[in-house]
Structure 1
């Protein structure tokens, strides 16, 4: 009878293993730097391992072009996603414009609010200081920021006072640490840093719409599917909204 007991025990263990939930495959996500606080929160609520790599959207797109091992790419600009799509590097049917944002002038906590328009004397506000911005020719926040300042007639007065950095979170850090008096960042960035206030919001009409597209990298759909389903689902949408993003399609 000993062999019967061992057989039954082995069968019970085997059935228990079958009953255990299958963990989702680890997923590597290349994401725009401005997503960090919210996406860290989203990933922490996902039932699986997520490897997050943050940088400016232009850098991430180039890394995907060079064959970097990403499963999902989540950018802050539709133009860079268009580039990847035209190169055949994303699974087009998985692409979704998931989030929206606004552009703000960031300053130290307690600084006086301003109305951003053609009448704003931004150069006087800077004095001898610098205006922190992401790279204005490559990184979405910088591209949006330059477009906004240009359309309002403010760019010419401040362009030689701009401190350009690799991504919008680096621009935010310069303001947060008091190394510059002002910066152009997303509203969600200012909300994420307790040492920074949004002093004013740039008119939506002053720059192209800010959209965050997400997609699976071509050939990595199987690894990306579960996380993309979660990312576009109700729980993740609630988290993004709590961090100040506009959730598109709601």
Structure 2
């Protein structure tokens, strides 16, 4: 039986309406799905921003080896207060650290064992002058092996049984300059020069004495107390050399200037000073 034209038209119209409804429902489902994904799945840009915000600030402190014992304790104390800060220490002779900063090596804070190294960086604008402080003081001492009973004072170094005396390299180890000043004041420098054996840093100088490769050596008292194989037999007289201070400052090129200044402020606190003093340092002036 044939359908009339009117019935055919109505059937086609019904199909068209149903098709439109189906398409609309499909678009609605896709729209809702897209919105849900936008809410529950952050974009890569948002992920990277969140990661950057949660990443701790890394402070790089270039410092003298004599401070290693103190900083091992201070690191734990400070990060307990400032969980968003990670402390990284670069230990080395002050002259070498100075050269690294001059050559563009990354650093946020510089703590020198001597004034000349800090002065050189300040003159070149490589440290923030307003942040500079004399953080700590130290003393030069004469060390010998634990079982040595013959050397008790600087003048004993002229004895014939003393063949070698450890001293740091003059260009990079501030203690070497202080030792020279002391020996010149005591009128011993010329007589002892032939016996001097250079070490790249004070840890190497102490190792010479520990192993018997030198009968004596000049180091800071804060270095000497870290070894149970040597003993201090004499301390350089206060009037025999210029005062020994450890200056500290924020490096101009630091990308974490505020965090560096805050840590430097903490190092002057009573809590930090107790740690330094326990390791043989005195408060700077």
Give the unaligned 5+ runs of structure 1: 1-9, 11-21
Aligned equivalents of 1:79, 1:68: Cα separation in 2:
19
1:198-237 deviation digits (Å, cap 9, x = unpaired):
0111101111111000000003223412321222222111
Give the counterpart of 1:32 among 64, 79, 91: 64
1:40-80 deviation digits (Å, cap 9, x = unpaired):
22223221321111111111111100010000000011111
Instruction: Compute the TM-score of the two structures, normalised by the length of structure 2.
Output: 0.74
Residue 226 (structure 1) aligned with residue 258 (structure 2): no
Q: 1:92 is matched with which residue?
A: 129
1:168-195 deviation digits (Å, cap 9, x = unpaired):
1221122123321110011111111111
Q: 2:11 is matched with which residue?
A: none
Q: 2:281 is matched with which residue?
A: 245
Q: 2:162–2:215: 8 Å Cα contact kept in structure 1?
A: no
Q: 1:127 is matched with which residue?
A: 162
Aligned equivalents of 1:124, 1:150: Cα separation in 2:
18
Q: 2:90 is matched with which residue?
A: 53
Q: Structure 1 stretch 49-58 or stretch 216-225: which is displaced more?
A: 216-225
Q: 2:75 is matched with which residue?
A: 43
Which structure dedicates a bigger proportion of its chain to helix? Answer: 2
User: Residue 160 of structure 1 aligns to a residue in which SS?
Assistant: helix
Instruction: Compute the TM-score of the two structures, normalised by the length of structure 1.
Output: 0.84
Q: 1:136–1:145: 8 Å Cα contact kept in structure 2?
A: no
Q: 1:92 Cα deviation (Å)?
A: 1.0
* Larger Rg, first or second structure (1 or 2): 2
Instruction: Report the aligned-residue RMSD.
Output: 2.3
Q: 2:48 is matched with which residue?
A: none
1:108-153 deviation digits (Å, cap 9, x = unpaired):
114336244xxx131216533x111111244201110111111111
Aligned equivalents of 2:160, 2:246: Cα separation in 1:
31
Q: 1:163 to 1:201 in 2, by over 3 A?
A: same
